[in-house]
Amino acid sequence: MRKTLISLGVLMREKRFVYMDHAATTSIKPDVAESMIPFLKEYFGNPSSLYSIGREGKEAIETAREQLAKALGAKPDEIYFTSGGTESDNWAIKGTAFSRQKKGKHIITTSIEHHAVLYPCEYLEGQGFDVTYLPVDRYGLVDPAEVEAALKEDTILISVMYANNEIGTIEPIQEIGKVAKEHDVLFHTDAMQVIGAVQLDMKQKHKDVDMLSLSSHKFYGPKGIGALFLKEGTQIDNFMHGGGQERGKRAGTENVAGIVGMGKAIELATANIEEHNEIIIKMRDRLLSGVLEIPNCRLNGHPEKRLPGNLNFSFEFVEGESLLLMLDQMGICSSTGSACSSGSLETSHVLRAIGLPPEIAQGSLRLTLGDANSKEDIDYVLDVLPETVGKLRNMSPFYNPGSVCEK
Amino acid sequence: MRKTLISLGVLMREKRFVYMDHAATTSIKPDVAESMIPFLKEYFGNPSSLYSIGREGKEAIETAREQLAKALGAKPDEIYFTSGGTESDNWAIKGTAFSRQKKGKHIITTSIEHHAVLYPCEYLEGQGFDVTYLPVDRYGLVDPAEVEAALKEDTILISVMYANNEIGTIEPIQEIGKVAKEHDVLFHTDAMQVIGAVQLDMKQKHKDVDMLSLSSHKFYGPKGIGALFLKEGTQIDNFMHGGGQERGKRAGTENVAGIVGMGKAIELATANIEEHNEIIIKMRDRLLSGVLEIPNCRLNGHPEKRLPGNLNFSFEFVEGESLLLMLDQMGICSSTGSACSSGSLETSHVLRAIGLPPEIAQGSLRLTLGDANSKEDIDYVLDVLPETVGKLRNMSPFYNPGSVCEK
Amino acid sequence: MYNKKVMDHFMNPRNVGEIENADGIGEAGNPHGDYMKIFLKIRDDRIEDVKFKTFGCAAAIASSSMATELIKGKTLNEAWELTNEAVAEALEGLPPGKLECSVVSREAIHNAINDHRKKQGLETLEE
Amino acid sequence: MYNKKVMDHFMNPRNVGEIENADGIGEAGNPHGDYMKIFLKIRDDRIEDVKFKTFGCAAAIASSSMATELIKGKTLNEAWELTNEAVAEALEGLPPGKLECSVVSREAIHNAINDHRKKQGLETLEE
Ligand SMILES: Cc1ncc(COP(=O)(O)O)c(C=O)c1O
Ligand SMILES: Cc1ncc(COP(=O)(O)O)c(C=O)c1O
């Protein structure tokens, strides 16, 4: 690798490539990519075919189904492959809604869900459904008691994400599941962010979860492939109608290579969750305390109940997109909830939901750690970030160094 | 390759692997697979990210969009990536239906569509929509006059496949498009089977087509990726709700590798359609006349208006699944519309729609030619097939050699 | 889809053919379109020889082959008691949804036995 | 997303800072949250020096930088006529949806010119 010297003002330093956006997507592990290649180059038969050459594909799909089932503590029959997290969410929500509209039209979800949950809900509102978007506290926590209080006679679905992708807050899924079960309402959770970070067990710990969505590219698998866990006996409408694939529940010729890759990826991601988390948390804690030394900076999300790899900061007097782009120039990949970054007029709905005033939400920076990171990455970010924030603050009309209270 | 000697009765011959099921799926071309690999191994950034490392993915997606647009004679802005043909069909049909239900609830389609069209229509019937399934003639042709006659005040959509996947009949898409246009009804066509076989031109020849579905694995691209052509200005409901991908019309992190592969595949598949068809038709015609020498055998579908690679036969006194499996033992991959093969009680809905009596439909065999085939494959099939049919007929209680009228 | 045993009985079916002047002939079909015709040579209430012809899928053909093997040499009573499950078991299993295709063998055997009883002036047996 | 020119003006913005005892000071914001403050040093109706401070995205910062470059040395009349489009063009284009972010520069310049006019006892100009 060529070494590049880069300057962001006075100091010259060696540029380093630091990927800290693992919540957005992850790289494919080499073993995962290798597992896929035979299904691109060699085994091309249609898994639905009767003759022998479709069989490698069919068998590979069933192996992947077992790998997913094992990782979730579920039965292979409860796993359905989809084209990604978005499809899984759409299916769970619309499939439940349309299948139960005679029974009721009320859905409970939260104001901090991913758009893959929020927009299907909004769409359903247009179709005559009634959706309650529960508020969260300032840490992003949903209160199970509020879920219970929101229940109506005609509630058919509760959908609460397992952990938030922006601020990392982990929700009380078991408690909410209990509420759902007690009132005989289906419970769906968007678990995109937790595979490989939280040990799942659909038979025991998560026995009250009826549907769970996951997406391969969040755990070092390929993009465009995901799954829906649909608990045995749970009947919802199909979303993708057509051929008899996936035991008649999800039509469409299977993305065999993608399914194989996801199977391998989940096996690797869940092989040693605790040890993996320990490493990530160690890096995260050092990064956290280092960043908090920058004045007028705060951590968003829950201080403890959060994903191991997630840090979400707000820097006063700084706009997030600028910060992100300057960090990118220094080789650091990050994310922000600022309005400008999304092309919309509003800052992230999650940051608004936890009550951040717009100017604080504007200065948000998400750093999500993962397999790509090392101690050296943390050092580099801690070296570059304060200077970058400083440079932008010096450009800001709101910033008055005198007014900044040193911590 | 090890040579295997194989016997199906008396004769011993060298076993040959002959893939003649190109309508089911195709192998990925080496150049296509190669184009995908960097997006599995190297460029993993999320195309929606603001920083530089997502850009390779973003740019690669736009290149693929241009490749598709060029192949279809469309604008890049009219191409939307999906998870395959089934999703494209579902989106076009349900998206149109839900977006126009205030205007009307009547849909016209045909009795020979793929299940990816039929089952969304059936689903919509359950949601209060009214669907006309037009009959076809004995060759599988839809009559544009019947389409016109079926129109009602509240017709919102006409969906007729470009060419049938089982019997290969090519429908009068331009004439049906004219009817749709004259009555200001949206027109969708399932074009899975025609990419690389028919030259498309959405601006001229197919200017009356508002929506067109395609699927990459039918033209030597990867599985689990497809596209919907949505004519400029055509407003239909989204099907996959969530993030802002695909200009806000199809949410979900993009299957970058799949999209790249499909782009390359369509470029290759449409580079020289005429020359390619010539080769295929030459092989097909020899296979056709050879097979028709078997007594009590007929060709299904239209004699001329058919896909270059498609042959669909019915052999009296023979059941299709048995024939398929015996051919598989001889190395030949084929397909059948027999009841047993589908696990259902009924023979193929297409063969029923063209009026085949059940016992004739039971004995159907589809051979679809493509890039994998050579003259030697034709020789081999012509060598093996008569004997195989003979073996099964000798086992059949219905077969009475005396009653067979020699041709 | 099919296991090795099924494929063997499908590719190399035993007892295919007809018996001239058979002592009992039975036919049976199912809604899939599978159809079997069976011919029994009977001596002293025992099935001395058996042949069949079947139109149908691999499951139907393999079941026919296996069923004829299982009843060959058996008494008519024993043959009557043969179940689809026993045939499927002897084939080491059939894919889900394919058990139906093996039903024709049992029915054809029953019909052949009753044909034989009729020829003998005996009353026919009920299922 | 942004072109090289924009990135250059964003990473190395010209004319950042404040002018003590400026002859005209103007501020402007937009609904995205972008905010610019501009300082003019004016002599003989001409902009002798200009500085700015901007809170905002890369488009806002780069536009601020480019706008100040474009009006430096110009007469107040010329500066008043500067459009967002001219700024965007000088930047060789802004991504779709980002033109909005460059609006603040023009507004801030107008406000600064009017501030100067007020100080001079002149009536303010209308947009
Ligand atoms: C005519 C037709 N329509 C739809 C489909 C479904 O496409 P896919 O398998 O890519 O979902 C197919 C192929 O399976 C087809 O041949
Ligand atoms: C919480 C959450 N839900 C849903 C999604 C959508 O998943 P996908 O991009 O695989 O469609 C994502 C990621 O993008 C996510 O983080």
Is the confidence at residue B405, as pLDDT, over 70? no
Interface of D with A (CB under 8 A): 2, 7, 10-11, 13, 16, 27, 31-37, 53-61, 97-98, 101
Helix (H, G, I), strand (E, B) or coil at C59: helix
Within 10 angstroms of residue B177's Cβ, the number of other Cβ atoms is: 22
Q: Does A243 contact chain B (CB < 8 Å)?
A: yes
**What is the ipTM score, two decimals?**
0.93
Q: How far is CA D34 from CA A329, A345, D1, in A?
A: 21, 11, 19
Is the confidence at residue B65, as pLDDT, over 90? yes
Are B72 and B229 spatial neighbours (Cβ–Cβ below 8 Å)?
Answer: yes
Is the confidence at residue A337, as pLDDT, over 50? yes
pLDDT at residue A344, as a whole number: 61
- pLDDT tens digits for A263-277? 999 999 999 999 999
- Side chain identity at residue B375, one-letter code: K
pLDDT at residue B317, as a whole number: 95
Q: At what angle do helices C58-71 and B320-329 cross, to 10 degrees?
A: 90
Report angle CA C10, B344, B164 to the nearest 5 degrees: 100
Are B391 and B8 spatial neighbours (Cβ–Cβ below 8 Å)?
Answer: yes
The yes-or-no reply on A/D contact (3 CB pairs or more, < 8 Å) is yes
Confidence of residue B343 (pLDDT cuts 50, 70, 90): low
Residue located nearest, by CA, to atom 8 of ligand 1: B85
A317: tokens are 């007097």
The residue among A245, A90, A109, A82 whose CA lies nearest residue B95 is A90
Q: What percent of chain A is predicted at pLDDT more than 90? A: 88
Range in A364-368, D96-100, D101-105 with the lowest mean pLDDT: D96-100
Q: Give the alpha-carbon dihedral of A216, A217, A221, A225, to 10 degrees.
A: 50
- Please name the helix (run of DSSP H) or strand (run of DSSP E) that holds residue B130, with its range, or none: strand B130-134
Q: Which atom of ligand 1 is nearest to the CA of B163?
A: 1
Tell me the CA–centroid distance for residue A330 and ligand 2, in Å. 27
- Summarize the confidence of residues B372-395 as an average pLDDT: 96
Residue located nearest, by CA, to atom 3 of ligand 2: A114
Is the confidence at residue A357, as pLDDT, over 80? yes
- pLDDT tens digits for A27-64? 999 999 999 999 999 999 998 888 878 889 999 999 99
Mean pLDDT rounded to a whole number for chain C: 94
Residue of B nearest to C96 (CA): B343
Is the confidence at residue A391, as pLDDT, over 60? yes
Is the confidence at residue B296, as pLDDT, over 80? yes
Report the gap between the CA of C27 and the closest CA in chain B (Å).
Answer: 9
Tell me the CA–centroid distance for residue B26 and ligand 1, in Å. 12
> Positive or negative, the Cα torsion across B53, B54, B57, B62?
negative
Tell me the C-alpha distance between C1 and B328, whole Å.
Answer: 12
**Residue carrying the six token digits 């993962």:** A370
pLDDT at residue B1, as a whole number: 40
pLDDT at residue A288, as a whole number: 98
Helix (H, G, I), strand (E, B) or coil at B301: coil
Is the confidence at residue A197, as pLDDT, over 50? yes
Confidence of residue B403 (pLDDT cuts 50, 70, 90): low
pLDDT at residue D99, as a whole number: 81
Q: Which atom of ligand 1 is nearest to the CA of A252?
A: 11
Are D75 and D31 spatial neighbours (Cβ–Cβ below 8 Å)?
Answer: no
Are C122 and C113 spatial neighbours (Cβ–Cβ below 8 Å)?
Answer: no
Is the confidence at residue C73, as pLDDT, over 70? yes
B364-368 β-sheet, strand order: B297-300, B310-315, B364-368
Inter-chain residue contact C58 with B318, CB threshold 8 Å = no
Q: What percent of chain B is predicted at pLDDT more than 90? A: 88
A364-368 β-sheet, strand order: A297-299, A310-315, A364-368
Inter-chain residue contact B341 with C32, CB threshold 8 Å = no
Mean pLDDT rounded to a whole number for chain B: 94
**Residue carrying the six token digits 């100009």:** D125
Is the confidence at residue A12, as pLDDT, over 90? no
pLDDT at residue B8, as a whole number: 57
Tell me the CA–centroid distance for residue B190 and ligand 1, in Å. 8
- pLDDT tens digits for D14-65? 999 999 999 999 999 988 789 999 999 999 999 999 999 999 999 999 999 9
Q: Does A338 contact chain B (CB < 8 Å)?
A: no
Q: Does A364 contact chain D (CB < 8 Å)?
A: no
pLDDT at residue D21, as a whole number: 94
- Side chain identity at residue C77, one-letter code: N
Q: Which atom of ligand 1 is nearest to the CA of B89?
A: 4
Best mutation site among A22, A114, A173, A307 for ligand 2, i.e. most ligand atoms within 8 A of its Cβ? A114
- pLDDT tens digits for A294-308? 999 999 999 999 999
The yes-or-no reply on D/C contact (3 CB pairs or more, < 8 Å) is no
- Summarize the confidence of residues B347-374 as an average pLDDT: 95
Inter-chain residue contact B251 with A325, CB threshold 8 Å = no
pLDDT at residue B400, as a whole number: 82
Within 10 angstroms of residue A109's Cβ, the number of other Cβ atoms is: 25
Mean pLDDT rounded to a whole number for chain D: 94
pTM of the model: 0.94
Q: Which atom of ligand 2 is nearest to the CA of A88?
A: 11
Q: How far is CA A134 from CA A166, A324, B33, C121, in A?
A: 17, 30, 46, 81
Of the candidates A40, A120, A328, the beta carbon closest to that of B222 is on: A40
Tell me the H-state helices in A142-224: 144-150, 173-182
B230: tokens are 């949505």
Whether A88 lines ligand 2, by a CB cut-off of 6 Å, is: no
In chain B, residues with a C-beta closer than 8 Å to the C-beta of C26 are: none
Whether A215 lines ligand 2, by a CB cut-off of 6 Å, is: yes
C-alpha Rg value of chain A to the nearest Å: 22
Is the confidence at residue B332, as pLDDT, over 90? yes
Is the confidence at residue A1, as pLDDT, over 50? no
Within 10 angstroms of residue A273's Cβ, the number of other Cβ atoms is: 18
- Side chain identity at residue C41, one-letter code: K
- pLDDT tens digits for A114-139? 999 999 999 999 999 999 999 999 99
Tell me the C-alpha distance between B308 and A308, whole Å.
Answer: 57
B270 φ/ψ angles, rounded to the nearest 5 degrees: -110, 10
User: Structural domains in chain B?
Assistant: 5-20+272-393 (3.90.1150.10), 30-269 (3.40.640.10)
Q: Does A402 contact chain D (CB < 8 Å)?
A: no
A395: tokens are 């450009």
- Summarize the confidence of residues B329-353 as an average pLDDT: 84
Residues with CB under 6 A from ligand 1: A 252-253; B 84-86, 89, 114, 116, 161, 165, 190, 192-193, 215, 217, 226
- How many residues would you count in chain C? 127
Specify whether B297 is catalytic.
no
Inter-chain residue contact B115 with A243, CB threshold 8 Å = yes
Is the confidence at residue B406, as pLDDT, over 50? no
Residue of C nearest to B346 (CA): C32
Contacts with B14 (C-beta within 8 Å, 6 or more apart), sequence order: B3, B4, B5, B6
What pairs with residue A211 in β-bridges? Answer: A188, A230
Tell me the C-alpha distance between A250 and A83, whole Å.
Answer: 10
- Summarize the confidence of residues A208-219 as an average pLDDT: 98
The residue among D56, D52, D77 whose CA lies nearest residue D67 is D52
